[in-house]
Amino acid sequence: MNHKPLGPTAVELPEIGLGTWDYRAGPDVLRAGLDAGALFVDTAESYGSEPVVADALRGLRQRVFLATKASRHHLDAAGVRAAAERSLRQLRTGWIDLYQIHEPNPAVPVEETLDAMERLVDAGLVRFIGVSNFTVPELERARMAMSKHPIVSNQVRYNLADRSIEDGLLSYCQAHQITVIAYSPLGRELPRLLDCDPRGLLASAARETGKSIPQVALNWCLYHDGVVTIPKGNSAEHLLDNCGASGWRLSPDQFRQLEEGILFRRRNMLDSMLRRYIPGWVAPFLKTCVRRLPPALRRHVN
Ligand SMILES: NC(=O)c1ccc[n+]([C@@H]2O[C@H](COP(=O)([O-])OP(=O)(O)OC[C@H]3O[C@@H](n4cnc5c(N)ncnc54)[C@H](OP(=O)(O)O)[C@@H]3O)[C@@H](O)[C@H]2O)c1
């Protein structure tokens, strides 16, 4: 497993971590991923997966980089403290390696949230502070708010079919030593990535490299400086396959063909805002509707 630096810190992060949103497979499957070198787990108070992560980490805690998140409804000073304490209990650990703001909440000044997070670092409960789903202006404001500790990461959606962060956010993070933790690196569902590849370029690259299609798709993310990925898998087979995305690189030519040939989109501000404020209960219904669309249409709403 290759590693990349975490922001400006001395920590080297496995470039493939284990995402746990909608994770249903139990501790042994996660453990298989950890044993394969993905010693980086991403969870969140809202995922409900903190207890299973705690089970998977039994006896391994010192070796694993553990990231979790505070929800947007818990971002005032007291809320952050209480959310962190709940996560520590659920995770059955004395510290969180990376504590992230899950998404901005305009109703709470980010300065208040980050001040509370800095206090958690000072108290030894958190090692590093990160954010998620932050735009460049939101990151600028967050960086200005920090008094003692840096923002080390921004967790954002990034995959071959959704390259919205290339509109300035990726280069901003690279310039300011903020690690990009790419979520949904397989497009949330592999068929959704394949919808965007009518010429079969992923399959060709897989044949040429002797790797699987998911490995090629993840490797494309990792090709970018300062980017690590956290694919989610519900089977040991998927997790081991994903770990095999590290330790090699696409050739420049293979990278270029994927860059140029996969039909990607970049979300505009309205699209991003709508997604941010869609209530959680609507999401499964929308997901079912999107699945029923023909592929050529489906890829426009990825
Ligand atoms: N910060 C945020 O707002 C945010 C938002 C979304 C996600 N995330 C994080 O990012 C993680 C990953 O994103 P995601 O869950 O949306 O999507 P993803 O990792 O892009 O895709 C997961 C899907 O790919 C399938 N898959 C995984 N490995 C595979 C393989 N080797 N071969 C074939 N299919 C494979 C999974 O199937 P199975 O489940 O059947 O294995 C699942 O359907 C989440 O778990 C979460 O930790 C963060």
DSSP structural state of residue 2: -
Residue 61 has pLDDT above 90, yes or no: yes
Residue of 18, 20, 21 with the most ligand 1 atoms within 8 Å of its CB, for mutation? 21
Ligand 1 close to Cβ of residue 130 (< 6 A): no
Q: Does the structural domain 3-301 have CATH classification 3.20.20.100?
A: yes
Residue percentage of the chain with pLDDT more than 90: 86
Distance of CA 111 from the midpoint of ligand 1 (Å):
31
Mean pLDDT of the chain: 94
pLDDT at 270: 65
Pure H helices in 183-282: 190-195, 201-209, 213-222, 236-243, 252-261, 269-277
Residue 217 has pLDDT above 80, yes or no: yes
Ligand 1 close to Cβ of residue 186 (< 6 A): yes
Distance of CA 234 from the midpoint of ligand 1 (Å):
9
Distance of CA 124 from the midpoint of ligand 1 (Å):
31
The three-state secondary structure class of 214 is helix
Least confident of 14-23, 237-246, 259-268: 259-268
Alpha carbon distances (Å) from 45 to 106, 123, 142, 156, 175: 20, 20, 21, 17, 30
Ligand 1 close to Cβ of residue 233 (< 6 A): yes
pLDDT at 299: 66
Alpha carbon distances (Å) from 262 to 5, 105, 116, 193, 200: 29, 33, 42, 9, 9
pLDDT digits (tens, 9 = 90+) for 162-206: 999 999 999 999 999 999 999 999 999 999 999 999 999 999 999
Residue 277 has pLDDT above 90, yes or no: no
Ligand 1 close to Cβ of residue 71 (< 6 A): no
Residue 14 has pLDDT above 70, yes or no: yes
Where do the domains of the chain lie?
3-301
Residue 22 has pLDDT above 70, yes or no: yes
pLDDT at 265: 78
pLDDT at 281: 73
pLDDT at 273: 67
Q: Which atom of ligand 1 is nearest to the CA of 159?
A: 20
Ligand 1 close to Cβ of residue 226 (< 6 A): no
Question: Is residue 286 very low, low, confident or very high in pLDDT (cuts 50, 70, 90)?
Answer: confident
Ligand 1 close to Cβ of residue 111 (< 6 A): no
Of the two residues 272 and 220, the one the predictor is more confident about is: 220
| Structural tokens at position 192 | 């959704």
| Angle at the Cα of 254 from the Cα atoms of 251 and 256, rounded to 5 degrees | 105
Prediction pTM value: 0.93
Question: Is residue 301 very low, low, confident or very high in pLDDT (cuts 50, 70, 90)?
Answer: low
Question: Is residue 300 very low, low, confident or very high in pLDDT (cuts 50, 70, 90)?
Answer: low
**Which of 42, 98, 37, 75 is CA-nearest to residue 245?**
37
What are the catalytic residues? Answer: 47
| Angle at the Cα of 292 from the Cα atoms of 285 and 283, rounded to 5 degrees | 20
Q: Which residue has the tokens 């929308």?
A: 286
In the beta sheet, which residues pair with residue 41?
18, 66
pLDDT at 302: 62
| Structural tokens at position 224 | 């970018």
Using CA atoms, how far apart are residues 68 and 75, in angstroms rounded to an integer? 14
pLDDT at 294: 73
pLDDT digits (tens, 9 = 90+) for 30-52: 999 999 999 999 999 999 999 99
Task: Name the closest-CA residue to atom 40, ligand 1.
Answer: 234
| Mean pLDDT computed over 135-158 | 97
Using CA atoms, how far apart are residues 7 and 157, in angstroms rounded to an integer? 18
Q: Which atom of ligand 1 is nearest to the CA of 231?
A: 19
